[in-house]
Amino acid sequence: MSYEGSSIDPARPSIARVYDYLLGGKDNYAVDREIGDVFKRDLPGSVAIAFANRAALTRAVREIAKTTGIRQFIDLGSGLPTADNVHQVAQRHAPESRVLYVDIDDQVLVHGRALLEDNHRTRVVAVDVRNPEGIRSHPATLELIDFSRPVAVILSAILHHVNDDEDPAGIVRYWRDQVPSGSYFFLSHFRSGNNPETMEAEKVLQQTFGRGRWRTDAEITSLLDGLEILDPGIVPAPLWRPDESDGPWNSGESRQLTVWEHLIAAGMARKN
């Protein structure tokens, strides 16, 4: 692969590739695996967090596709292609679903174009989530998303990579104002546990990527200001509408969660 003209840098760890490594993917370099191994060694629950997050996202997309009639999704900070991507989950239940994938990482663009744009209902764009107008006015967005009809906006494990002074609430507010009533938002976010694990994890992320903000339930809730937060509220991801059929990560109600599984929160909200 040529790196010319692209910001893919195999010498520096990327959030997307480290996350891919934690999920057992292969789209990562030695430098990502090195950091991933630090996470695994010092933060042994980070793999559980990644899987719990992905499973909650899958349940949310399935639920939206099955129950709301929404057929268009914007997946902000979508990550590298993985086992069950948003369009695959949505199209399994509603084949006409359209998905716009957005990520800042050029590798997501390269691999995404190959693996996520597998039909004319999916597009991948490399735009910073902190530039919502850039996403909104992108030709792929204009082509794929009809803003006169309800949209599902997916903010899965992305806003904790946006620092307070970069106005994460403003990002949600922007999309809330762009989409019509009946639109849904799904959010997952590192959840501050006020414990040594949170502090250590926050330190590793800050040192590695210069960003990574754990927020309290109240802070996460306030990111969804002006939207109706649906049952069961903002809760640890394994407890967000668990479904045993999805595998062991989703059996939160029937067993004690580990301290790690408490460190990722999930919630869904609707614009009324």
Helix (H, G, I), strand (E, B) or coil at 33: helix
156 near ligand SAM, rule: CB under 6 A: yes
Q: Select from 60-68, 100-108, 216-224, 249-257 the region that touches ligand SAM (CB under 6 A).
A: 100-108
Given candidates 8, 157, 224, 239, which one binds ligand SAM under the rule CB under 6 A?
A: 157
Strands annotated E in 72-223: 72-76, 98-102, 122-125, 152-156, 184-190
CA nearest 198: which of 53, 38, 45, 13? 45
105 near ligand SAM, rule: CB under 6 A: yes
One-letter amino acid at 92 equals R
CB under 8 Å to 104, separation ≥6 — which residues? Answer: 77, 126, 127, 128, 129
Distance between CA atoms of residues 75 and 207, nearest Å: 27
**Helix or strand holding residue 201 (H, E):** helix 196-209
Minimum CB distance to ligand SAM smaller for 125 or for 227: 125
Minimum CB distance to ligand SAM smaller for 78 or for 141: 78
Residue listed under structure tokens 């933060």:
43
243 near ligand SAM, rule: CB under 6 A: no
Residue listed under structure tokens 């990560």:
249
- Among positions 188-217, residues that touch ligand SAM (CB under 6 A) are none
152 near ligand SAM, rule: CB under 6 A: no
Kindly write out the interface string for residues 109-138 of this chain, putting x where it contacts ligand SAM by CB under 6 A and - elsewhere: -------------------xxx--------
49 near ligand SAM, rule: CB under 6 A: no
Given candidates 16, 109, 235, 265, which one binds ligand SAM under the rule CB under 6 A?
A: 16
Distance between CA atoms of residues 86 and 101, nearest Å: 9
Q: What does the binding site for ligand SAM look like in residue numbers (CB under 6 A)? A: 15-16, 19, 53-54, 57, 77-79, 103-105, 108, 128-130, 156-158, 161
